[in-house]
Amino acid sequence: MPTKENAAENLIPVETPSAEPANNPAVESAPVATDALCPLESPEKPASVVAVEKLVAEIAARPDAPAPGWTFSVASLGCPKNLVDAETMVGRLAALGGEMTPDAENVDVFLLNTCGFLRSARDEAAEFIAEAVAEKGAGGVRFLLVSGCAVVSDGEELAARFPEVDAWLSPFDEAKIVDVVCELFAQEGETKAHCVETEAEETPLVVAPSRFLYTPSRNLTLDDSLRTPLTSPNVAYLKIADGCDRFCTYCAIPKIRGRFVSKPLEAIVDEAERLAVAGVRELVLIAQETTFWGSDLFGEPRLAQLLATLKEKNWFDWIRVLYTYPQHWGSDLTSLYRMEAPGTTSILPYVDVPLQHCNSELLKKMNRRVDKAQTEDLLARLREEIPGLVLRTSLIVGFPGETEAAYQELVDFVEKWKFERAGVFEFSAEPGTPAASLDGQVPEEIKRRRLERLCAKQERISRRFARSFIGQTVDVMLDSRGVSDGGTTMRNVCVGRTYAEAPDVDPLVYVTGRDLEVGSVVRCEIVDAQGLDLIAVPVDPEKIFVSKDERRIAAEREEAARARELGLEPPKKAAPKKTSNGPKGGKGGDWKKGGGKGGKNGGWKKGGKGGKPGGWKKGGGKSGKSGNAE
């Protein structure tokens, strides 16, 4: 059960939170970092920014807007795509005049954005709702809103179970949050059943006495223009599409999010421009499937065109692409994945391509549309055509019909291709999915043993990859300050990432130095690896940090040397001062077994709850996605 004591992992904050070495040619040849790219130096505001300012002014001028001074808090569960949904709603609430606060025990509006991908995620959402309802009953929350995928998957059940919730919003109805809040403030104290008419195919849900229960309209607008990013200020996600047309037999996403819809190119460019103006240096493109972008707009996938357009703008240091699919990888796409010279946007040589399995029979049962030979042909081509490639994948063990031979085939496959990053998950039979009714369901104990074994192998691979960085010079993007074991922010330690670490899911890099600025890109030497995390120091001598003890020892040595030159007795050494054990291992470290603090992990993630968060009261972070990979 979530508790308020460990709540710092869940509520999004107002401010940014604080083996033998293997060959790694990309690390050796990575270009030197420069100051942030400044492509938007015109004194005039870009049209995309002006357009959003007009929208904000229109919302703020609503005659039914709440009186000034009202507050709101938000907690978002699940994946980065869900986080963007939460950011969009936060932006709309801020435009309406709300002040965001981390204090969820004394707030006018509390918004919980849920995940409904798996039963474990839906159970987690119900736990959070129950605690929020209790807080509302104690007078700490005035209005309670629940949004996200669980409203689609379990909305009727949840609404009946928690009538205290004031409004339920599906991912299709995020824009209505402004209308909901205005109505709640206008009619405070009233209890009524209200269903907004939509174009839903389903029968509208009306469950009294919840005030609003919105039914999925299946009309994805993909309008994220008003979003307020809740990540570190130097990093932002950009959702380029939503929904999915793959219909993998284990996955409920098409049922929850609907069919695949691409965000128009112009809208993506405008959103990217606004993020660049806000100071974002790494842009992370996400969707249920990024490589399928444009198929509904142009009749064929055109991710390469989108990346080339963004690269030409030269607004960011790094562009990272997540959630690709093992199809549509033409040479026009692979040729863009390069670390570029200083001052030029790099499409990072980091490919996230969930494969799920390698056995051809199981891939067919999963409806993955590729077989083993096609998968290996793609991996070989990616390794050949993208210098210094870092490969991240997701794998499922225990899918119905997975024999010991098929499982061993997967283990050998992982050993052969040596994925630098991998998430490994147990199969979860989700109601309503075809895989849930397949013959040959694997017993839970066997799934657990297979998970343990494959994770152990992947950990060894990821550790060797981490140690391959030692002695290399790389660019590190600094995301936050380090925190000591006692919880104190460390002035001379920052936590960051190289091109090989995606935010929230990969290991971390700890940099010790002087005058380090969060959000900057610093050229560093990797001096050690602890588990999967890296330890680094700046290459710039002016930024090298020397501790008080090191300075004291150096002074004693100089004084002793002078004494010897003069024939005098060397001075006695002072007793060394006690020091702390250094920075926390953070949320990365070696690896996790699925429980624990959620969010960031090492080079791989075990299944099950997949990083269940604690309470919902204060702090930052998002819960990690659990169970099957997408």
The domains of the chain, with CATH numbers, are 25-221 (3.40.50.12160), 235-467 (3.80.30.20)
Give the closest residue to 144 by CA, choosing from 108, 99, 120, 105. 108
- Condensed to tens digits (0 to 9), the pLDDT of residues 212-250 reads 554 444 555 678 889 999 999 999 999 999 999 999 999
CA gap 359, 405 in Å, rounded:
10
pLDDT at 379 over 60: yes
Phi, psi of 51 (to 5 degrees): -60, -40
Give the pLDDT confidence of 25-63 residue by residue, as tens digits.
333 333 334 344 444 555 588 998 998 999 999 999 898
Q: CA 475 to CA 485: how far, in whole Å?
A: 27
- Beta carbons of 442 and 427 less than 8 angstroms apart: yes
Handedness of CA 178, 179, 181, 182 (dihedral sign): positive
Apex 607 CA angle, 125 and 467, nearest 5: 125
Alpha-carbon distance values, 200 to 74, 173, 197, 212, 593 (Å): 27, 11, 8, 16, 40
Tell me the whole-structure pTM to 2 decimals: 0.80
Strands 141-148 and 107-114, sheet pairing: parallel
Cα distance between residue 608 and residue 424, in whole Å: 10
Are 98 and 226 in contact by the 8 Å Cβ rule? The answer is no
Residue 9 Cα to chain centre, angstroms:
13
102-134 residue pLDDT tens: 888 899 999 999 999 888 899 999 999 999 999
Phi, psi (rounded to 5 degrees) for 435? -65, -25
Which pLDDT tens digit goes with each residue over 306-337? 999 999 999 999 999 999 999 999 999 999 99
User: Per-residue pLDDT averaged across 388-403, rounded?
Assistant: 98
Give 152 or 202, the one with higher predicted confidence.
152
pLDDT of residue 380: 98
Both structure tokens of 166 = 């004031």
pLDDT tens digits for range 429-449? 999 999 999 999 999 999 999
Q: What's the confidence (pLDDT) of residue 212?
A: 52
Q: How many CA atoms lie within 13 A of 389 on its CB side?
A: 23
pLDDT of residue 5: 34
Q: How many residues does the chain have?
A: 630
Q: What is the mean pLDDT of residues 266-284?
A: 96
8 Å CB contact between 367 and 246 = yes
- Cβ(12)–Cβ(230) under 8 Å? yes
Per-residue pLDDT at 201 exceeds 80? no
Q: What is the mean pLDDT of the chain?
A: 82
What's the per-residue H, E or C state across 156-171? Answer: HHHHHHCCCCCEEECH
